[in-house]
Structure 1
């Protein structure tokens, strides 16, 4: 089992499009860490709909973090952001059903949207956000060995083959079945923890 050399002291979790820090996966991971790694510094920010503002929020929040001792996890659009952060800071990343080309895919969602965990909350996905996503796209993952890609072949929104090609050379955990939300996340959590060297 490939794992990073040392466990991180700081862990950033980035949620997906229309999601929030109430993400099931984020909550399950945080609960495990609170119990088993209480000294680890955890942050899962609410990301604004603007990709440029989202990255500014992230970068401001981790400005004082030790980059040599941090890691980032992200799901779907959060996986896209996590890839960009890993390239910027040279840190390990775990991406879960990561968006490969969100500028292409989210162009269909321009307009008013509702938040997944609070349907009463609305936001507007603006046309310029597509250009912001395009500007954030990492041409290639330069150090794939520091990345774990958890990919569900049953993802109903994203093509698992495209994800697999994007993260060629990375440690890949391919799941037969499951779904975009990775509803069976608990089953795959040990693989994430082992990669990040957070468990024995």
Structure 2
């Protein structure tokens, strides 16, 4: 069965972020038969979900029901990854994941520029409502689903409160590292662990 890894970057990031590039290179070098997918995510949460559903159901990738999918999500990408993993019962690795992104991103309402793509776009109040709606629409993780997650956080995360992720995923596999930052220092050294978690 075909295997796909879907990597979801964070807010104002891109497929060319250092973690995305490190993951792409690692899986290409060590698991060349696996399809590594890292799209440039849309700026609207609603559009992101449509985009991701389209990828998961793409005929060329054999669809979510006819191939094996693994998720890696960083920050806001972790929020979307959790939603998809819950909905489709997929394994997911969440790196310094955003738990309540609408609380953080309300401080970014207004014009933003993506530093990777130079795209100018607007963060709106509606985006915050859409993010809340995603949380409210997702069913609670059942006990068996909790085994689907590997959560990696660093206590030095200067953007998010890592304890929110620890509390939300306290029954899942947790890697809590002292120090570090929001980008997750030493991510490349964790890639073999991620491959092992996915049982590649």
TM-score when normalising by structure 1: 0.90
Q: Which residue number corresponds to residue 128 of structure 2?
A: 130
1:114, distance to aligned residue in structure 2 (A): 1.5
Aligned-residue Cα RMSD (Å) equals: 1.6
Matched, 1:9 2:3: yes
* Equivalence map 1:142-161=2 (5 Å): 142=142, 143-161=145-163
* Equivalence map 1:27-42=2 (5 Å): 27-42=21-36
Aligned partners of 1:177 and 1:139: how far apart in 2? 33
1:76, distance to aligned residue in structure 2 (A): 0.1
Aligned partners of 1:139 and 1:152: how far apart in 2? 27
Q: Which has the higher helix share?
A: 2
* Equivalence map 1:99-114=2 (5 Å): 99-114=98-113
Q: Which residue number corresponds to residue 37 of structure 2?
A: 43
Q: Is the 8 A contact 1:141 1:167 kept in 2?
A: no
1:8, distance to aligned residue in structure 2 (A): 7.5
Matched, 1:70 2:73: no
Q: Which segment drifts farther, 88-97 or 140-149?
A: 140-149
TM-score when normalising by structure 2: 0.90
Give aligned pairs, total: 191
Aligned partners of 1:94 and 1:8: how far apart in 2? 19
1:183, distance to aligned residue in structure 2 (A): 3.0
Q: Which has the higher contact order (CA 8 A, sep 6+)?
A: 1
> What secondary structure, in the 3-state scheme, does the structure 1 residue paired with 2:40 have?
coil
Q: Which residue number corresponds to residue 85 of structure 2?
A: 86
> What secondary structure, in the 3-state scheme, does the structure 2 residue paired with 1:13 have?
strand
Aligned partners of 2:78 and 2:103: how far apart in 1? 15
